[in-house]
Amino acid sequence: MRIDNLQYANWSQKIFRQMREGRVDAVHVTIAYHETFRETVLNIEKWNRYFTEFPDLIMHAKTAADVDRAKATGRTAIIFGAQNPSPMEDDIGLVEILHSLGLRFMQLSYNNQSLLATGCYEENDPGITRMGRQVIAEMNRVGMVIDMSHSADRSTIEAAELSTRPIAITHANPKVWHPALRNKSDEVIKAVTDKGGMLGFSLYPHHLKGGTDCTLTSFCEMIARAAEKFGAASLGLGSDLCQDQPDSVVTWMRVGRWTKQTDYGEGSAQSPGFPPMPTWFQDNRDIDNIAEGLNRVGLSTEEVAGIMGGNWRLFYQNSFAGQSDQ
């Protein structure tokens, strides 16, 4: 099983074919950053056209069984997620509607303070809000995963404590390896994984030690150290691959509609733009390089299989059904 639990590519037939060449069985795709509910629905319409146009390459997945079916039929399962709670606007009733449309992951905040939680770029983190507590309970009820990848420390720890289901950090790395603002402290990772949650390792250069020049060995050794601390069963991949996106998309990520100024965010020493990916992970065809690297740093065959996709597959099985369906 090969699963990449976060990508935001400029989707095309080329990329879908590369997924198949790399034998990637499932990808969690971002369908919203700052979009409203209606705008998110338009993005879902676009994906429905992809599913109709390329039925031999991709299929929509709402369950772990769908991922299994995609693998068995030689396709890549596409799982919807949002990197902000903006699609639910200020209406808790839209959580269930979004879940019915296929949304399976939703971040409680994206860098900034939201109605639900604090983003990692805010100076102060008061934690989960009153509405956030209610939305966490509703996400638990319907089977939508709480994602804290861009959230601040206190908010993430509180989300793990409040949630009756395991939560996820879908795309980040340990801060002890590389002190990027978006990477996570051991305390935060432990709070998530101790409750059965998952950490997906990011390949986005700003999250890597050495950036674009990060070596495969360094990346895989980081994963091996995390496995020693938190257990290999809590780990997976969330590459944050933004293949073929124009640099203007970074501005949308950072700015959305909340400011008239340019927000440089990660890599603030330069204008917003996508840095080159490491040579050993340019696109989906390179995913097995990571498996080979993990083998070389001493992880067992079983541990490597879990990190490459098996752990996310089990997490999907336990997370995507509503409480009344379990």
Domain range holding 247?
A: 3-325
Per-residue pLDDT at 223: 98
- Gap between the terminal Cα atoms of the chain: 24
Q: Could you write out the DSSP letters of every residue in 155-173? A: HHHHHHHH-SS--EE-S--
Q: Is the pTM of this model over 0.85?
A: yes
The CATH number covering residue 21 comes to 3.20.20.140
Question: What pLDDT does residue 252 have?
Answer: 86
Enumerate the β-bridge partners of residue 76: 58
Beta bridge partners of 147: 107, 168
Total number of residues shown for the chain: 326
Overall domain count for the chain: 1
Q: Rounded to an integer, what distance in angstroms lies between the CA atom of residue 210 and that of residue 219?
A: 10
Report pLDDT for 269. 47
DSSP run (H or E) holding 6 = strand 3-7
Rounded CA-CA distance 28/305 in Å is 18
* CA–CA separation, 36 and 50 (whole Å): 21
Each residue's pLDDT tens digit in the chain (326 positions)? 999 999 999 999 999 999 999 999 999 999 999 999 999 999 999 999 999 999 999 999 999 999 999 999 999 999 999 999 999 999 999 999 999 999 999 999 999 999 999 999 999 999 999 999 999 999 999 999 999 999 999 999 999 999 999 999 999 999 999 999 999 999 999 999 999 999 999 999 999 999 999 999 999 999 999 999 999 999 999 999 999 999 888 888 888 988 888 776 665 545 568 899 999 999 999 999 999 999 999 999 999 999 999 999 999 999 999 877 76
